[in-house]
Structure 1
């Protein structure tokens, strides 16, 4: 499923409106079910039959379900904003040295000059045996 991007402020406002609509209809339905009448500012006291009260309750439930789907499908993505454009640390696959990305020129290794460095996570995905060896060495040093 592809999420549609919308502004976070607009998303928050719409979620708040859905929240208010749900609680207004839900509490109206509960009061109408138990007491049979609901006080309002404009019409005074409005009397509801039991079936009307159940219908209002179904509207509240429908509002909650549609609000859930709205939140699920239109939620703004926050992870892409926080992710840096360049990896913080990279490793040269040829000489196996680790560099801070800011130290490099165009992402090339300082020692090898023509070799592109790789993000540490990608590097250890490509060479998992080297990660296992490093873990073994660290465990030996701790003992």
Structure 2
């Protein structure tokens, strides 16, 4: 659907936008980090917990379950006593690695400009009184 100023119909929609659907899958900060933890193949839960700085057991469990539900992660149960569990990306999950790497690279190259723009914006929109306190 194209935008028409005469009919004022929207051409951008949360329910129909492919970007918003993808962001719904990967927008959680833990999701991206957990996917990166599985980038090199199977990984055990405890190792993933150690690798992903700051994630709690509860959040890791919720994240891998969500990714498993979305078809991006598969769980492998190893019949030991007690049973061990390994996680890995599915072929579908592996297709996310390249676009995520490109976003990571964009961040490495451009994030300092974002920080500078934020500082300039914040300075421009502070009151004169606040500027003198700085």
**TM-score, with structure 2 as normaliser:** 0.24
**TM-score, with structure 1 as normaliser:** 0.23
